[in-house]
């Protein structure tokens, strides 16, 4: 984990590189609330959590008045109820059953939940998300649920060892995004393409991403609790 000076310098550097082309989301998995609040003091206004339990543990400790909180990890349907009133967006909507549960829980508390549809752009068996050829049909379905607001798409391409290798996936996602954006529906406002992480966020932005999810490039290598190893 980086110290505070390194975190401040990393945030400033990444912002300079993005140059207003994309919004910076800090992926805060395993990052303690104290460090998250320090990052918020540096002007960071968007964070993302991957795990429901960790989000709940940190929630009361985070300076929520100054930050937007997204859920960006795999989400079990039976845990939606715990975060429905706590997050500003769920980026990882990857199946109809999850969408239906978010709809049900959002209706229960009388809110409309902004969401992103997750696309398995690399067609990996180990990753969640709908296949690229299913994306338009899935988004049409999401747009029928009145307590969901479809705001865009997200994807995690295959892990690459070569710089620039994921550009083909980012470009394909951009094309899907444009195709779906042309579908005009009342409860849809397709304005977010969430692509790119610590190793490839600049490639993603150059291919059309306007939101990048960056963790280790800000906070350093993650330190997992013994129970996670």
- Per-residue pLDDT tens over the stretch 35-61: 999 999 999 999 999 999 999 999 999
List of residues 6+ apart from 69 with CB closer than 8 A: 47, 48, 49, 55, 62, 86, 87, 88
Mean pLDDT for the stretch of residues 71-83:
98
Mean pLDDT for the stretch of residues 152-173:
92
Residue 86 within any structural domain of the chain: yes
CA-angle at 84, arms to 189 and 196, nearest 5°: 55
Residue 226 within any structural domain of the chain: no
pTM, full prediction: 0.94
Residue 207 within any structural domain of the chain: yes
Can you tell me the distance from the alpha carbon of 225 to that of 211, in angstroms, rounded to the nearest whole number?
29
Q: Give the ranges where the chain is alpha helix by DSSP (H).
A: 4-18, 33-41, 52-59, 80-83, 96-109, 135-142, 167-181, 201-206, 216-219
Residue 105 within any structural domain of the chain: yes
- pLDDT at residue 229, rounded to an integer: 45
- For the chain, how many structural domains are there in total? 1
- Residue with the bigger pLDDT between 124 and 183: it is 124
Residue 227 within any structural domain of the chain: no
Task: Lowest mean pLDDT of 124-138, 151-165, 213-227, name the range.
Answer: 213-227
Residue 131 within any structural domain of the chain: yes
Question: Going by DSSP bridges, is the β-strand pair 68-71/89-93 parallel, antiparallel, or unpaired?
Answer: parallel
The per-residue pLDDT for range 123-137, each reduced to its tens digit, is: 999 999 999 999 999
Is pLDDT of 165 > 90? no
Residue 163 within any structural domain of the chain: yes
Is pLDDT of 223 > 80? no
Residue 1's pLDDT band, with cuts at 50, 70 and 90, is: confident
- Which residue range forms the structural domain that includes residue 20? 4-221
- pLDDT at residue 203, rounded to an integer: 96
Residue 229 within any structural domain of the chain: no
Is pLDDT of 21 > 80? yes
The CATH number assigned to the domain holding 59 equals: 3.20.20.10
Can you tell me the distance from the alpha carbon of 59 to that of 10, in angstroms, rounded to the nearest whole number?
24
- pLDDT at residue 183, rounded to an integer: 77
């Amino acid at each position: 984990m980086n110290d505070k000076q390194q975190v401040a310098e990393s945030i400033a550097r990444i912002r300079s590189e993005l140059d207003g082309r994309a919004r910076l989301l800090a992926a805060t998995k395993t990052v303690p609330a104290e460090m998250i609040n320090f990052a918020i003091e540096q002007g960071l206004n968007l964070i993302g959590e991957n795990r429901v339990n960790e989000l709940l543990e940190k929630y009361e400790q985070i300076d929520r008045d100054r930050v937007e909180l997204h859920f960006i990890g795999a989400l079990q349907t039976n845990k939606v109820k715990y975060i429905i009133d706590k997050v500003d967006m769920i980026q990882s909507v990857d199946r109809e059953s999850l969408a239906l549960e978010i709809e049900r829980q959002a209706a229960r508390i009388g809110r409309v939940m902004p969401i992103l549809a997750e696309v398995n752009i690399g067609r990996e068996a180990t990753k969640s998300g709908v296949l690229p050829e299913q994306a338009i049909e899935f988004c049409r379905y999401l747009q029928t649920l009145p307590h969901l607001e479809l705001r865009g798409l997200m994807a995690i391409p295959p892990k690459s060892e070569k710089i620039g290798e994921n550009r083909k996936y980012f470009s394909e996602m951009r094309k899907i995004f444009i195709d779906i954006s042309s579908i005009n529906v009342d409860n849809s406002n397709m304005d977010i393409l969430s692509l790119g992480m610590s190793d490839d966020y600049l490639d993603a932005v150059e291919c059309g991403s306007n939101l990048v999810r960056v963790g280790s490039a800000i906070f350093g290598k993650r330190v997992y609790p013994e129970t996670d190893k």
